[in-house]
Amino acid sequence: MWIDSHCHTEDDDALQRGRAGGVTHFVVVGTDLETSTKAVETAARHADVFATVGLHPHDAKQLDDEWEQIVALVDSPKVVGIGEAGFDLFYEHSPVAEQSVAFERQIRLAQERDLPLVIHARDAWHETFEMLESVGVPRRTVFHCFTGGIAEARRALSLGCSLSYSGIVTFKNAEDLRAAAAVTPADRLLCETDAPFLSPVPLRGKPNEPAFIALVGAALAEARGETVEAVAEYTSKNAIAMFGLS
């Protein structure tokens, strides 16, 4: 049995296929006001779905227009985290200065509400670590879709963060990522699909779904020299602890 600790799936049929594939809980993640609202609504419809609310770095330019309404959503039933929030300098759809303001505000919100912080970091390790070290790391913090190598993993772990691995761990050219997965302590490792993005091998090019999470887990098991059953058990336990799932 699996927990998909990070997906963007509101479709009831996809959720049902996930259940058939062994997923017991889904954390549906907000990236702006619209998707955060949809995540909250999806969680309200399903006992096994939980929501996060936040502003993705791509959408940081919307902070002034959406922030108060996003904060109001935090009080909705079954909201279990803030984000995804952080830096994305690969695309830089929002200026880095605006990403910085939005990230800091979400870190502080997670601290104030004692909720997990879900981090997005792409081509921005220096900026991300600098912000966390400056503002402080919330008690529960996870790097979603972690893409770093051993050095980045160890620095994130030294700050008390957990690392969540996605279908990228199955990609042929992801040797550094598999090496990072191999050194991540079992109690700090989560598993996700990031559906509908980043479908694992051999399904690349198709829309991703929570039902495909077992392929991610199998790649993690191979990288770590463990059984798939062991990975499913401890990643599920870690997700329950991270997000307070029931």
Residues of the chain with pLDDT > 90: what percent?
98
Calpha distance 78→55 (Å, rounded) = 18
Chain Cα centroid distance, residue 90:
18
pLDDT value at 234 more than 90:
yes
pTM above 0.95, yes or no: yes
pLDDT tens string 101-141: 999 999 999 999 999 999 999 999 999 999 999 999 999 99
Residue closest to 174 by CA, chosen among 216, 209, 143, 144: 216
Reported confidence tier of residue 181, pLDDT bands at 50, 70, 90: very high
Model pLDDT, residue 67: 98
Q: Is 194 left (phi over 0), alpha (psi -120 to 50) or beta?
A: left
Q: Is 196 left (phi over 0), alpha (psi -120 to 50) or beta?
A: alpha
Evaluate whether 50 touches 43 at the Cβ level (below 8 Å).
yes
Calpha distance 57→137 (Å, rounded) = 18
Domains parsed from the chain with CATH numbers: 2-243 (3.20.20.140)
